């Protein structure tokens, strides 16, 4: 199945010069979405993760589907102010601004093996913040698995030593 045909390019969104990768067509096709989740799970299943950390917001979609498929717990990494209990917070930069992610302080325990999941790896700032969140909680970040990698933005450089698996690379 050609999964690229389910990704729509939106020029100049969210600002001029950005070519947004819209995954809505993938999500509206049950077979294509299932195939994408299968491809994201293949390289990481043997790593024996205990949890999936899904990054807000589209990482929630892929992350919860992967957690369900693999029989793992799901932890959401949220934008600031969305979680009701004490949190770990990490700031990050992205290609069009800055933001932060938070997880509850009790989301993981020592020895947990965490698979980080997002839809797109761009500059690597979001994924690097997620890695730091996992480490702050005393757990082990195992790998990053995602649907799309924008290789020309060199996001891997911000994640030394972390295995990274992407279904599509642009």
> Nearest 5°: CA angle at 102, between 99 and 106?
170
Residue 102 is assigned to a structural domain of this protein: yes
Q: Classify residue 79 by its DSSP letter.
A: P
Per residue in 91-112, pLDDT tens? 987 656 689 999 999 999 999 9
Residue 37 is assigned to a structural domain of this protein: no
Query: Rounded to two decimals, what is the model's pTM?
Result: 0.95
> Of 114, 112, 118, whose CA–CA distance to 145 is shortest?
118
pLDDT for position 49: 98
The tokens describing 91, both together, are 């700031």
Active site residues: 58, 95
State percent of the chain over pLDDT 70. Answer: 98
pLDDT for position 14: 86
Residue 86 is assigned to a structural domain of this protein: yes
Residue 33 is assigned to a structural domain of this protein: no
Structural domain harbouring 113: 48-169
Work out the number of other CB atoms within 10 angstroms of the CB of residue 57. 12
Per residue in 37-53, pLDDT tens? 999 999 999 999 999 99
pLDDT for position 15: 86
Per residue in 54-69, pLDDT tens? 999 999 999 999 999 9
Per residue in 9-22, pLDDT tens? 999 998 898 899 99
pLDDT for position 86: 98
Residues 126 and 118 sit within 8 Å (Cβ to Cβ): yes
Catalogue the E-assigned strands of the chain.
8-11, 19-22, 51-55, 73-77, 87-94, 97-104, 113-121, 140-149, 164-169
- CATH code (residue 126): 3.40.50.2020
Distances (CA, A) of 91 to 7, 20, 66, 160: 28, 22, 25, 18
Residue 21 is assigned to a structural domain of this protein: no
Residue 105 is assigned to a structural domain of this protein: yes
Structurally, the chain folds into a number of domains equal to: 1
Residue 85 is assigned to a structural domain of this protein: yes
């Amino acid at each position: 199945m050609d999964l690229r045909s389910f990704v729509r390019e939106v020029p100049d969104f969210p600002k001029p010069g950005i070519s947004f990768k819209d995954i809505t067509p993938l999500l509206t096709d049950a077979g294509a979405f299932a195939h994408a989740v299968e491809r994201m799970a293949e390289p990481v299943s043997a790593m024996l993760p205990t949890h999936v950390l899904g990054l807000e917001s589209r990482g929630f979609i892929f992350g919860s589907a992967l957690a369900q498929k693999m029989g793992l717990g799901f932890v959401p990494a949220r934008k600031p102010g969305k979680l009701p209990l004490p949190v770990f917070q990490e700031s990050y930069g992205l290609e069009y601004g800055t933001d932060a992610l938070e997880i509850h302080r009790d989301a993981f325990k020592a020895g947990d093996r965490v698979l980080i999941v997002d839809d797109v790896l761009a500059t690597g700032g979001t994924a690097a913040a997620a890695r730091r969140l996992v480490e702050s909680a005393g757990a082990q970040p195992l790998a990053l698995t995602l649907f799309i990698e924008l290789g020309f933005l060199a996001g891997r450089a911000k994640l030394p030593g972390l295995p990274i698996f992407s279904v599509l690379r642009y």
